[in-house]
Chains A and B, each alone.
Chain A
């Protein structure tokens, strides 16, 4: 489904297509016209995709066809073996995880999992985990720690599920515990924000030595819609909230909240998922290499210092 701001691009693409078809059907040479329009298309794309507003990026971060955790595990990793369940209550389909190899390196992975269509989205609760999802993530953190393998987390959630069942089973408690568990790991840890980094439900698997983010992903304390509903008393002001929250990859890099931005193909990762996944793989390998020399204790201290330093205040 095209996004509103992409419509001029689509219209131009359609015209070029029509022109090519006319040329083919009638035998008239329209190559010069086509080339002209194609140049215009490239300029238009550059203008639109080169000047995305924060709200447009939020829309790209949610676009259908954007690579999900399972897509990345399938294409960038080898021999992913999914492990299920929290050993206490249930298996949460909104968080997946298991064992995998990255270019021959043994790793343990988890990630939020959104559906790739409406049916799967319902099954996966739109990537909004219940407490059992975080308990599963913690189990896998322990597994990585026990065997000394790097722990990689993919973040893509609108937020932890805000419902009665989640509250009854201690949503706040498991998020706090997951933050703590991940912060204490003595193995290299990397978190990569694939799409949406919605608040505590994202951070619960985001306390890593290095935090990477895809170019059009967002990460903040609240979604733009909820923020607008509270501060502007109108969820329709979400574009303004997206602006104010400084939630884009570039903004987060400036704040020190993320360490590096992983580039996306033009028009967003959903336009060329394979290309995006290649970039993700490259970034993960590079980051793992950076963390390689650190001892278990140094990895813990590195993470402590990283998060301890975040914040802006005045001494007085």
Chain B
């Protein structure tokens, strides 16, 4: 989403507005980049390696084997509490739906990943900051149950500010629901891989995202429980350099690997092929 906004902002408002802007700037190093090249590089800056946020559909394309993805996510959000802050929640939902073309903050389905049958769920940060309300929680629980029922691995790509405030306690309950649904995979000895991307915080980190068999994080991704702003307010000090970044989490033992996006699929495939009981020994795949 951030990148899309960047593109939009750079578009001149004058007469040549329908000529697409060919160049963009890296959010990490500021280098001018050819957009097509950046796309082909999975939005990783070829100069500095900065990982820009990848839209959910591109994440699916990057991980699922070509032509295998069948979307299963289909639930639509309600407004169970009639929540109104400075705007009604129902209105916010319509705006997010209009912007993203998605019903809620998750895109998922069945696919093969390196030939391993899988359920792949990708959180969409562009939709309400990827926040988890009833729909995201239910889709994750259904995804885990479907994977268990069909002998598939589960792969979840997290990108979320946490639980969704506008569904309040019901959002909180999704943390318990998603965690419990993972038991179905445990019972069937099916692997669950969690990929933490920028940013993953709050109730998403503190539930299903932290409980995978193997946890990957993308370089530089912000990952934690409380957001940096809240922590700064609490301790009234500046935060240490690199605090809550993927590399910090690796150092403190919270994630298995920090992997460059361009190598991520290959590593995920190695894990899935190793752990999935239905895949025979195949070194060096």
The chain A residues found within 8 Å of chain B, CB to CB, are 160-164, 166-173, 175-177, 179-180, 183-184, 199-200, 203, 206-207, 219-222, 226-227, 230-232, 240-241, 244-247, 252, 255, 257, 303-304, 307-308, 310-316
Contact = CB atoms under 8 A, between A and B. Distances in A.
Given A231-B86, A247-B169, A307-B180, A164 B243 contact: yes
Most buried by B among A173, A230, A303: A173
Interface in B62-88: 74-78, 80-81, 83-86
B21 interface: no
B169 A172 contact: no
Given A162-B230, A177-B210, A312-B170, A172 B205 contact: yes
Nearest to A170: B254
Nearest to A160: B225
Given A179-B179, A232-B85, A308-B181, A164 B240 contact: yes
A315 B176 contact: no
B172 interface: yes
A179 B211 CA distance: 10
A304 B177 CA distance: 8
A172 B163 CA distance: 13
3 closest Cβ pairs, A-B complex: A162-B226, A311-B134, A312-B80
Contacts of B77: 313-314
A163 B85 CA distance: 28
Contacts of A310: 170, 173-174, 176-177
Interface string B136-178: 0110010000000000000000000001110111111111110
Interface string B185-219: 00000000000000001110111111100000000
Given A221-B163, A222-B163, 4 more contacts: A162-B231, A167-B231, A172-B205, A200-B207
A308 B137 CA distance: 10
Contacts of A304: 180, 183
Contacts of A184: 183
Chain B, interface residues (CB within 8 Å), range = 35 or more
18 contacts: A162-B225, A176-B205, A176-B206, A180-B180, A200-B203, A221-B163, A221-B168, A231-B165, A232-B86, A240-B85, A245-B169, A252-B169, A255-B170, A308-B141, A310-B170, A310-B173, A311-B174, A316-B103
B234 interface: yes
Interface string B232-243: 001100011001
B135 interface: yes
Contacts, number: 192
A307 B176 contact: yes
Contact of B76 (A172, A230, A316): A316
A231 B85 contact: yes
B57 to A, nearest CB: 19
A180 B173 contact: no
Contact of A170 (B180, B207, B226, B252): B252
Nearest to B134: A311
Nearest to B132: A221
A307 B176 CA distance: 7
A255 B76 contact: no
B224 interface: yes
B229 to A, nearest CB: 9
A315 B74 contact: yes
Interface string B31-71: 00000000000000000000000000000000000000000
Contacts of A226: 230
A308 B207 CA distance: 14
Given A164-B235, A176-B179, A257-B170, A230 B165 contact: yes
A313 B138 contact: yes
A57 to B, nearest CB: 14
A171 B226 CA distance: 9
B75 A316 contact: yes
